Chain A
Amino acid sequence: MTYNFAFLDEDTKRMLRRSLLKAVAIPGYQVPFGSREMPLPYGWGTGGIQVTAALLGPDDVLKVIDQGADDTTNAVNIRRFFARVAGVATTERTVDATLIQTRHRIPETSLREDQILVFQVPEPEPLRTLEPREAETRTLHALADYGLMHVKLYEDIAQYGHIATSYDYPVRVDGRFLTSPSPIPKFDNPKLHQSPALMLFGAGREKRLYAIPPYTEVESLAFDDHPFEIQQWEHQCELCGSGESYLDEVIVDDRGTRMFVCSDTDFCGQRRAEAQA
């Protein structure tokens, strides 16, 4: 059985492309789109792969990561899918990629202007847990009324003494739309601000696309007396020794021994290769 290049038919790609252009023109605004059924279940990146399919050309080099890793099931399968239906080159190296599809991380290696980052988004609406009605959240966005989110962060402070949100930390894009950065750790939020690379977000089940253009103001919500802070570790990566990357805590035996390692496998591997050379 043969498919059209990059799986989707041309009408669907055109629809996605029109929506992506509007998403870029209105930074942080969620553009509704006609999400298609894809050959993997909702929650596995159906939004991300539709965006990637609309972008992909024969000259692209595709990298896919899942929580920073190139070698986990979701990443391997999506990479293989596009190698098969588009015949594109794939890579695990951030610097070699023209297009990077990601689930829940931004690579540690700084991105360039000629790269595009595609995020898989489970819930595009940052206000959804606070207001379940779509008609209502849409009105709140129309009026730029984001008091609900400030109250939620304030309640964190009242209850825990600090803002307890550690991933999917809400941002304000270009001073206007409250936007979900997808469930990336708040450690990655500063990389959204004034990024050289274009960032596109796809939510397949929720049928929404949005974008953060390059060199755009992206502010993580906070209060004057409780400024935004990122995670810090007392450890360094036990494989490469990095003290500035996002670390995963891994249990390595059945006696509860733990080690901290980089979540970005390419970054960690490159550092180890350099150290050996």
Chain B
Amino acid sequence: MLAAFAHPVFDSQRSFRELLQAMARPAMPRALPVLPPAPAPIAPAAMAILLTLCDATTTVWLQQPEGEAVRHLQFHTGLKRVDKPQDADFALITDPVSMPPLDAFARGDLRYPDRSASLIMQVSAFRADGQTRFAGPGIRTSETLAIDGLPGDFWQQRTAQAPQLPLGIDVYFVAGQQVVGLPRTTRLLEG
């Protein structure tokens, strides 16, 4: 079995501060400070998020629940694994192209919009030269960012959920050492 964070208290604190800034400043890639060992198919950056935020009180849905990865997560975090995406506080998407539709995850209810899923999605790369621009809370004017490795209709699915705000899904994209936050309030600008 692989190890987790070498310094659990300080590594999770530093990771959390980057995640907090990633959520507060959407579509801006940030470097995670610590990349713990991770068994396939989990990327080290995704593992850093799971170790920082998950424990015996969180439910997690794994897209590819492979034996070694499941044992590793359950040993180090004690998280509760669920079989239905709808029941998950956190969902780990290791292969975005074959992921379930966004509607499969919890969006919260109007009295408790915080009872919604947080997705951790392992994508292939972030590029600043793309055509996709974002706006919303946390973004001063607009941010340009292309995210490679998403299903073709991902942005259409996400835009279709926008009218339900404040209900929605919050996403952490990871690629390499980088993390990008995309809360439900971030809008994709046309053109």
Contacts and interface: CB of A to CB of B under 8 A. Distances in A.
A19 B114 contact: yes
A36 B2 CA distance: 33
Contacts of B165: 176
A68 interface: no
Nearest to A176: B166
B55 A27 contact: no
A29 B183 CA distance: 14
B14 A24 contact: no
Contacts of B24: 24, 198, 211, 213-214
Given A26-B114, A213-B24, A18 B166 contact: no
Interface string A8-37: 001101110111111111110101100000
A48 to B, nearest CB: 16
B57 A57 contact: no
B141 to A, nearest CB: 9
B114 A57 contact: no
B21 interface: yes
B10 to A, nearest CB: 7
Nearest to B137: A216
A198 B166 contact: no
A128 interface: no
B23 to A, nearest CB: 5
Contact of A27 (B52, B54, B58, B185): B185
Contacts of B184: 25-26
A142 interface: yes
29 contacts: A5-B9, A11-B55, A11-B57, A14-B52, A14-B54, A17-B20, A17-B52, A18-B58, A20-B20, A21-B23, A24-B20, A24-B23, A24-B24, A25-B184, A26-B114, A26-B166, A27-B137, A27-B185, A54-B16, A55-B16, A56-B13, A57-B10, A57-B17, A113-B25, A141-B111, A198-B21, A214-B24, A214-B25, A215-B139
